[in-house]
A and B are shown apart, each in its own frame.
Chain A
Amino acid sequence: MKKYIALMKLQMKEVMEFRANWYLSILAEVLPLPILLLLWMTAFKESGSRSGYNTSTIITYYIISRMISAWIPSVWYEIVLALRTGGLDTFLLKPVSYLGYWSCRQFTTNVFYSVENAIIAVVLSIFFSRYFYIQTDGYYLILMLISLILSFVLAYLIDFVLSMTAFWLENSSGIKSIYFLIMTFLSGQIVPLNVLPDFIQRVTSELPFYYINFFPVQIYLGKVTYYDALLGILTEALWILSFYLIYKAEWKLGLKTYKSMGG
């Protein structure tokens, strides 16, 4: 445990150094949101509601989604760099597990950001307070929190599993950008999945991305029953387990092919 705490301290320093940059990136996260909401509000003004969403629920949906997406971890860049340039060598010598190492750093970054993220969420909700939907049912809030934590773990593991394809693939950055495009869409960050045509909805609900962003927000909005929420959380846990097993297998196979370039 001491080793991991040392890691966290290191990461903390790095985050502090790039603070100015981080404020700018938050600006990038937040600024487009009011404009997107303006688009939806104008559309609703003409037509009332769509697929069970009204102005209030759609605004709440996007504010929460934006906050979740700001938190979704990604270590792709660092991992690929380590695999391609032979930097993995130093990891193999460290007394911590590979997944553990990155998770620890990512966790610290996220805790650090969560304070600021929370402030932004509050500011946005006040700005749209006339519309922001507040869930008062405690069970829904607890269920949402559980599924949210699991969704970060799931998103992180998928990212990790895909970034480790750099063991075998030359061009993993191209795959990365396509993955992010698909993931943001299929996890409902661009448009709520239940507004889409039926056949697309049926496909998306079978995929793991469904649980990354869309599912926790649905629980928050109270759009699923307690039973369905629990069932969903169970499915989410199974997805996590599957991706963890894939990671294990990849790591084993990957180390066999790893050539330690430049090392």
Chain B
Amino acid sequence: MDIKRYFKVLKRIFSNTIKADTSFRANFFLNVLQGVIQLVVLIVFFDAIYGNRQIGSWSFNDSLLLIATNQFINAVYNFLFTGVGSIPDYVESGKLDTVLLKPVSPRFLISIANLNIDAVLTAILALPVFVYVLSTGTIKVTLINTLLYLLFIFIGVAIKYFFAFSLMSLSLWIVKAYALHSIFGEFFNLTVYPESIYKGIVRILFSLIVPIMIIANLPAMVFMGNFNSTYIVYSLVAVGLFWSLSNIAWRQGLKHYTSASS
């Protein structure tokens, strides 16, 4: 693989995005407003559920940490991979043909096609929440913790990407599949729920089949102090699993794909 070429493509996409984004600045204010409302609603929702009590080992404070962590992961994911959501559009319009002809990996090109600068907002808005949790002194921050936290955020983004990519690849089979967007959206709204609600078989289901339990919970648990080293092995297994799943879905899907229009 020619790494240099990929960097060149990435650089070009980045500069294009900046140009496109700065010409539609009117959206910026609405995006800020939307982000703030979303965050406030989420906090009110959890406040209503917790009402001064605990859910398993999670206090309301821990839940705020989970909300912030989830936002960080969403920010990175949305910044890089908004393109994944438009796979159905590529298929439906037949645009996928042009992508397949390009001299870079079509998968890479589709995933990174639209960088979303506004996604950074998601992380910025979550910062005050994160700082608030830090100020309450309920979490332990050390150098090792911080490094582990960042590692698990990275793993969370990877798992989310691989899973989303597999899901969206389904559109190679079912052509008119706008609803995949909403399934995808609804699923990833659930990553902000604390892991202690899942017990028994449901726990396995939501970590190794539909990974909503592990994406944001693991990094948050690093700071909460109830973390053990087996999670590292476990999450690496999950990354491998979802990586192969996305490969299989994409390759089999392409075999199945019969160009739409044209």
Q: Taking beta carbons and an 8 Å cutoff, which residues of A are in contact with B? A: 18, 20-25, 27-29, 31-32, 35, 38-43, 46-47, 50, 170-171, 174-175, 177-178, 181-182, 185, 190-191, 195-196, 200
Contacts and interface: CB of A to CB of B under 8 A. Distances in A.
Interface residues of B, number: 40
Interface stretch (B105-113, B183-191, B226-234): B183-191
Contact of B44 (A38, A174, A191): A191
Given A191-B45, A196-B44, A31 B187 contact: yes
Contact of A178 (B34, B49, B182, B186): B34
Interface string B38-71: 1001001100111101111000000000000000
A191 B187 contact: no
Contacts, number: 98
B121 interface: no
A18 B176 contact: yes
A195 B48 contact: yes
B183 A28 contact: yes
A191 B198 contact: no
A160 B198 CA distance: 41
B20 interface: no
A58 B133 CA distance: 29
Interface of B: 26-27, 30-31, 33-34, 37-38, 41, 44-45, 48-51, 53-56, 174, 176-180, 182-183, 185-187, 189-190, 193-194, 196-198, 202, 206, 212
Contact of B27 (A31, A171, A191): A171
Given A42-B56, A191-B48, 16 more contacts: A18-B176, A20-B174, A20-B176, A24-B174, A24-B177, A24-B180, A25-B179, A27-B179, A39-B193, A41-B197, A42-B196, A46-B53, A171-B30, A181-B41, A185-B37, A185-B41
Contacts of A31: 183, 186-187
Contact of A24 (B44, B183, B196): B183
Given A42-B196, A171-B26, A22 B179 contact: yes
B179 A174 contact: no
Contact of B55 (A27, A42, A190, A191): A42
